[in-house]
Structure 1
Amino acid sequence: MNTRLGKRLETMFPEKRLFLKSDSATRFVRLGTGTQIGMVAGAAVLLGWTALASSMVIFEALGSGSAREQALREQQVYSERLNNLSEDRDARLAEAIAAQERFNLALRQVSEMQTRLLESEERRAELENTVEAVQSTLRTAVDQRDQARAQAQEAMAELAEATGSEKTDKARIRDLEATLGFLTATLGRTAEDRDTLDADYALAMAEVEELLLTSQISEERNDRIFQTLEEAVAVSVEPLEAMFREVGLSPDRILQEVRRGYSGQGGPLVAQTLSTRGLPQDELSFRTREILVGLDRLNLHRIAVDKLPFAMPVQSSFRFTSPFGYRRDPKGGGTRMHKGTDFAAPLGTPIYATAEGVVVKAGWHRGFGRMVRIKHAFGYETLYAHMTKLRVKEGQRVSRGDRIGDMGSTGRSTGVHLHYEVHESGKPVNPMTFIRAGKDVL
């Protein structure tokens, strides 16, 4: 059987000789049956591998094309959602600013109304004191008039007893009549003054009632303004606290740490104004203080948000090429832990700081190429690798949204992309946890 097969192969692939002639000699190369069979088999294997590889590349290209289109559609939807959220945030901010302006205007109006009310109360008190003084004077004058009449009658009676006639001593009688006339005129003027003061008092009371009505209307309007402000503060604070809780942070602990960095106080001490019952001056002051406390809490939340990496490092069009976690090494090094998230975009795409912090590393690092490491508050750090150009220096302080470099493919990289990491107390965590938490707020 082997002899027949060998003869057939020798018939199909007979021995051949290739003569190579040069100027000085002639050489030949002998190609036996086995050599020819090996060459044909190698060519067949090479051709088959080429066809298989080409088909795999074509299938992969078709699959990646559909995945790319789906990713682009998802990215477009995500961008539209971000734009809508940004518009909603701007609208809420505008409403809060308008409410703050209305609140300040209401405070000024209330202050003016309180000033006018106090002046009216003082004027009313003065009028009451004046009326009491006039009434006291009038009562004294009436008493003096009655006493004078009684004395005149007694004098006339004594004169009648002494002389037997009331017409005697006319000069004395004229003096008494003049005294009575003077007292009567004085009493008349006092009565006129009393009537004038009564009219002024009635006018002042009418003005006080009008001021009280205006103050009541102003208080109702202020109550609506305060209610709007209280609701706006509550609505603004809740999403921020939910964002902190989503990444495993306690809002109260974050606020305590922020307060320690913003705790300056000073100024003269002013005694608190109390009512006659020892209570705070009014409910308006209490609610104002509560709103200011809420606004302070909201401001502290905003400061904390700026210090934590909730923002996106790439704001242009991109696609996610590798998530956080274990994966197969694209350089053929087996399965390894991928400590960050990869964003692919064109060469030179701007890269931005995701939070406020200080640049602790800006330069070349083996494996990462050109990279930037930023230290943030609360023990967090972010790392940006494979950049083609750096735009910050070590020791520089950056804010959220500052451009720190351009996307590239330096270091251990298969193509243009950004390798982005987030570290908590030196331990890598999933950056998408922070990005997903901040997408509905920032």
Structure 2
Amino acid sequence: MPHRITNRLNAALERWLPEQRLFLKSTDSTRFVRLKPLTQTMALASFALMFGWSILAAAILLSDGLASGSAVDQARRAQIAFELRLDSLSRERDARAAEALAAQKRFALGLEQVSQMQSALLDSEERRRELETGIDVIQTTLRRTMTERDEARSKTATLLAEVQGQTGAARSGADQAEDVVATLDIMTEALGQTAAERDRMARAADEARAEAETIALEKRLMEQRNDQIFTTLEDAVTVSMEPLDKMFKAAGLDSDSVLNQVRRGYSGQGGPLSPIVFSSKGNPAISADEARAEQIMGALDRMNMYRIATEKLPFDMPVKASHRFTSPFGYRWGRLHAGIDLAAPVGTPIYAAADGVVTKAGWESGYGYVIKLRHEFGTSTVYGHLSKMRVSEGQKVSRGDRIGDMGNTGRSTGPHLHYEVRVGGAPVNPMTFIKAAKDVF
């Protein structure tokens, strides 16, 4: 039965694929191989199947290559966009740092101007009091002079009456006339001196009143300048405090709690104390300028505490040279990647992100050569895969100190820094702190 089916298939295919013979010749004989139509059909089918499979495989490989090339291009474009964004953030950070430095200079200049204005105001107050005292003395002298003048006039009238009433028994008329003339000359001279002194005192009083008015005008102008200076300082403090408050809020920190801890750590006082002196006049009420000055000083003190806090919290970048952001914080292949990866050549300097103490500087599985720093307020940082460590355990470091070099030690596929930030022992995204500080540093 199978033989008949084979013969029928060969007969049906004979029309398109006639039987072929393949001759094989040797030195002493000739042989041939008969290629029937069915055999030719199977060979052609096998060749067509292999050719189709080759085309399909080539198409699949080509599509995979195109897809991978597109993914690589997309990754390259994303990397370029990310690096441009990092450059933009770096420039913004530098601009904000320059603005903060300029604001601090304006604060110092404003405080110096306030001090000078306060000193000038105190000098003008003292001059005004001295002039008021001088005016009082002049007025008293003028009143006394006028009283003496009136008394002299009264004595002159009395003497004239006595001279006119005398009969001349004791003295002759000529002697009496001479006495009267002498007395009148003396009284006239005294009256002239009194009038001159009165005029001089009046002119001094007028000059004192004019100077007092001038000082009062200068005082009002000085108060207006002080108000302008205070307003400028208050605006500058407000503008400078806003990004600091936003930075701590963006980092998820309670600014009041952090500043209270700073205040407790920097609250030293001392020095010899003078004896207590009690005044019967009582303490004068604080002026509006003094209240504004105290408010500005309080704001500047808060800014200074912010500065201390930022030095002790990991707001700074650990890598300042050119680098790539190769891996974010989060879960990767089902496991938590507790930090970020920043890639650069081996030997790139690594810097401390904040003031702290080295708690570990050595080898650790997975991290390779690793440095761990403990900072204030329950925060710590980790720097992994280093090629060289430049600090030792127990050493104190400051923000910006070089602590090591980038490397490729431990479980690593290339030179990079694995950077972690921990709060209360739990890992948090380091970019939270870095982004929070981009408008301040």
Q: Which bin holds the TM-score, normalised by the shorter protein?
A: 0.7 to 0.9
> Does 2:423 correspond to 1:415?
no
Deviations 1:90-124 (A, max 9, x none): 13421441353144134314422431442243134
Partner of 1:350: 349
Deviations 1:193-248 (A, max 9, x none): 11112112222222222222223222222212211110111111121112212222
Of 51-60 and 400-409, the range deviating more from structure 2: 51-60
Which structure 2 residues correspond to residues 49-60 of structure 1 after superposition, within 5 A?
Answer: 59-60=67-68
Partners in 1 of 2:271 and 2:198 — Cα distance? 51
Contact 2:103–2:240 (8 Å) recurs in 1 = no
What is the aligned counterpart of 1:156 among 144, 161, 164? 164
> Does 2:216 correspond to 1:212?
yes
Structure 1 residue 155, shift from structure 2 partner: 5.4
Partner of 1:244: 248
Partners in 1 of 2:286 and 2:184 — Cα distance? 55
Partners in 2 of 1:78 and 1:273 — Cα distance? 63
What is the aligned counterpart of 1:197 among 194, 201, 217? 201
Partner of 1:121: 129
Partner of 1:45: none
Partners in 1 of 2:219 and 2:80 — Cα distance? 60
Contact 1:390–1:406 (8 Å) recurs in 2 = yes
Provide the secondary structure at the position in 2 that maps to 1:227.
Answer: helix
Contact 1:141–1:183 (8 Å) recurs in 2 = no
Partners in 1 of 2:391 and 2:325 — Cα distance? 25
Partner of 1:22: none
Gaps of 5+ in 1: 1-47, 329-334
Q: Amino acid of the residue matched to residue 270 of structure 2?
A: G
Partners in 2 of 1:310 and 1:272 — Cα distance? 49
Q: Cα gap change, 1:336/1:316 in structure 2, threshold over 3 Å: closer, same or farther?
A: same
Partners in 2 of 1:323 and 1:313 — Cα distance? 15
Which structure 2 residues correspond to residues 37-436 of structure 1 after superposition, within 5 A?
Answer: 59-60=67-68, 63-154=71-162, 156-157=164-165, 159-160=166-167, 168=172, 170-172=174-176, 174-267=178-271, 279-280=284-285, 282-328=287-333, 335-436=334-435
Q: Cα gap change, 1:272/1:426 in structure 2, threshold over 3 Å: closer, same or farther?
A: farther
Q: Amino acid of the residue matched to residue 410 of structure 1?
A: T
Deviations 1:290-316 (A, max 9, x none): 111111111111111111111222223
Partners in 1 of 2:303 and 2:172 — Cα distance? 98
Partners in 1 of 2:396 and 2:62 — Cα distance? 51
Aligned CA RMSD, in angstroms, stands at 3.2
Provide the secondary structure at the position in 2 that maps to 1:80.
Answer: helix
Deviations 1:167-205 (A, max 9, x none): 856535544543343233122112111111211222222
Contact 2:96–2:440 (8 Å) recurs in 1 = no
Partners in 2 of 1:341 and 1:421 — Cα distance? 7
Q: Amino acid of the residue matched to residue 248 of structure 2?
A: F
Partners in 2 of 1:55 and 1:415 — Cα distance? 30
Deviations 1:235-281 (A, max 9, x none): 1112111221222221111111001111122356689999x895445
Q: Amino acid of the residue matched to residue 253 of structure 2?
A: L
Contact 1:370–1:410 (8 Å) recurs in 2 = yes
Structure 1 residue 432, shift from structure 2 partner: 1.9
Contact 1:121–1:208 (8 Å) recurs in 2 = no
Q: Cα gap change, 1:359/1:55 in structure 2, threshold over 3 Å: closer, same or farther?
A: farther
Contact 1:110–1:218 (8 Å) recurs in 2 = no
Partners in 2 of 1:390 and 1:52 — Cα distance? 49
Partners in 1 of 2:348 and 2:93 — Cα distance? 24
Provide the secondary structure at the position in 1 that maps to 2:137.
Answer: helix
Provide the secondary structure at the position in 2 that maps to 1:377.
Answer: coil
Identical-residue share of aligned pairs (%)? 41
Structure 1 residue 399, shift from structure 2 partner: 1.8
Structure 1 residue 54, shift from structure 2 partner: 11
Provide the secondary structure at the position in 1 that maps to 2:414.
Answer: coil
Q: Amino acid of the residue matched to residue 116 of structure 2?
A: R
Q: Cα gap change, 1:408/1:272 in structure 2, threshold over 3 Å: closer, same or farther?
A: farther
Contact 2:145–2:198 (8 Å) recurs in 1 = no
TM-score, scaled to structure 2 = 0.78
Q: Cα gap change, 1:65/1:402 in structure 2, threshold over 3 Å: closer, same or farther?
A: farther
Partner of 1:27: none
Provide the secondary structure at the position in 1 that maps to 2:142.
Answer: helix
Deviations 1:313-354 (A, max 9, x none): 2223333333223221xxxxxx32222222222222221111
Provide the secondary structure at the position in 2 that maps to 1:378.
Answer: coil
Partners in 2 of 1:394 and 1:61 — Cα distance? 47
Structure 1 residue 80, shift from structure 2 partner: 2.1
Q: Cα gap change, 1:52/1:375 in structure 2, threshold over 3 Å: closer, same or farther?
A: farther
